[in-house]
Chain A
Amino acid sequence: MKRTTTLLLVILLVFLASGLLFAKGEQEKKVQPASIEFWTTETQSDRVSTIQALVDIFQGLNPEIKITVVPVDENDMPKQVAASSAAGNLPALAEFGSENAIDFGSSGLLDTSTATKIINSIGKSEFYAGPLKMLESTQSGVYYAMPYHGWIQGLWYRNDWFKDAGLNPPNTWESIEKAAKTFYQPSKNQYGILVGTKAEVYAEQCFTQIAISNKARLFDKNGNLVFNSPQMKEAIQYYAGLANYNPPGPQTWRARDYYIQGKMAMFFYSTYIMDDLALAEVAASSLTGKNFKELKGAQFDPQLVVHTSFAPIITHKQPSSYGVIVALGIFKQEKAANTAAAERFVKYLYGEDAYVTFLHMAPGGMNPVLKKIAASDKFMKDPKGIFEKYGKKKIEEIIAGLESIQRFGIVEGHLITAYGKIFSQQIIPQMIYKITQEKMDVDAAMNWAEGEMKKIVNK
């Protein structure tokens, strides 16, 4: 009896002590009042309302903190940040693309220690590796900002055609070329693949993934131009070869319509295509059914979503995927309370409910960077029911493409600023156009492109 009483007393004491300790901890964590701004690049009114609703809930839970949502056009973000940095009133938190994050981070505007702390508290292994790598600073393990969402590009293909022809999924150079060749039957008005050959951004997006899979780069980490390399030449030759299986003439993203019409085996596209493949009302603009009922592929094919698979990673000398990562960045603040408030809000945004609500603003376009969210049932239930049409396994596979996402403009945590100009001058798309459409010799076209790039680098 006595032993039992002593045991009960000990348990009670342990319980009380831990209770006291916990209470002390809570008191330490107690939030200081703060009023901060959150700049977001989601400027569409419906998205602003969703974000405002998330903020309202957060404020309800944290009455000491006040957050003002400020929509900023993504193209204006660098300008606005520069202006407000000069005025000394940077927002505590902002959402922007990874290129911006590195730009701001390397200029010393971002609070890297808080960002790194948040990433570590969530757990690095919880994130897909690609997005983290894109935001890592020159110092290993230190991050400029926290990845939040992104889209991935890859090859969308007809799995039923591939199965009937006994072909492997198009995720290596060999399997892509073989499939493109097999399904290229122009006499039947059917084409093997779509790669960009018009002098537009789309061509650069398709080509980047191929080039990186061959370890071809534009710059080394010191910013030296290393474009004219054997790897790059090999990638260009391979890409030009694929273009032979394209629909006739120079092509750009719009030719994805031919896939939706059942006239093409595969095409490069981002995850923004997911609703076009799954929903008749979205696909309507790619079909001719309204005016030309008798044409082949004029009507919506509800089975297309089932018969479509996605190969986000292309492997040759290394695996490569292409995409855009949008990050949350905490700007350095004078008041510690502002930083603490931003940190608290970011952690809330990473919570399952808030995160899924945020991502569902653009199903397919905004994908989670946390593996567990990609696998969660809540994420699968988007308001339009797009994901359920694909099935959980396929969605997870699609998002897993974030694992090896890379860009030409970021080399080992260094942003190569000259790349932005090369990109906007469309030098690579023009080179691709010269080779595939004007039949210019590959060496001559590469020399031309290198000359143009040097003009920018040396300026």
Chain B
Amino acid sequence: MSVVFEKTKGLTEKEFHYCPGCTHGIIHRLVAEVLEEMDLLGDAIGVAPVGCAVLAYDYFNCDMHEAAHGRAPAVATGVKRALPEKTVFAYQGDGDLASIGTAEIVHAAHRGENITVIFVNNAIYGMTGGQMAPTTMIGQRTTTSPFGRNAEQTGAPIRIAEMLATIEGASFIERTSVHNPVHIRKAKKAIRTAFECQQNRKGFSMVEVLSTCPTNWGMSPLASLGWVAENMIPYYPLGNFRNPDKEA
């Protein structure tokens, strides 16, 4: 009997702690599959964030480093400078990357730091119980925007991929989504391209992945996937914002 599909070796046997219907699991799998397919697992050092993915160090089957909140790009910088031949990636959520860690992500891109960042944007703080993030949609109710996010008071959602794409050191920037199989495949392709970018020493690469939070959005997993398509993608357009091959 031939094996048609099996779990990637890029993930450990540890059971995920993620809530039912959360797409972190899919994104973990995509990163792990890419590392396995590119034969990078023995070579990779990942940096986990603070947030829902704080325990990512238990899930990825490679050397891992747990960072302080928002500091993953700085920690990854330290690792990469120490081991320039290794593959270094950071996995961060939107509270981590787009709020407390804006300085670190901007300057990692600015230096053209040759690392890959996976940025999971689910428009909310998941781990701490559903507070407003800089990425929270206008009108979205969270535990710290109970009447809906109001742009007048808290600004409009921040578009990280577009912002980082303005930085010269950023080599590959793409926004993807995992709300259906077509987009999951596209997200995987972008993640692979980002790691290839690092292998080819092209500088900083980041893939933003629109993700769900059924628990804190107060929706079923299915409704959450629909909400990404209907509410997030129109504001956070998918696509490539920077690609070294296209510019050449």
Does A associate with B in a complex? no
- Interface residues in chain B, defined as those with a beta carbon under 8 Å from any beta carbon in chain A: none
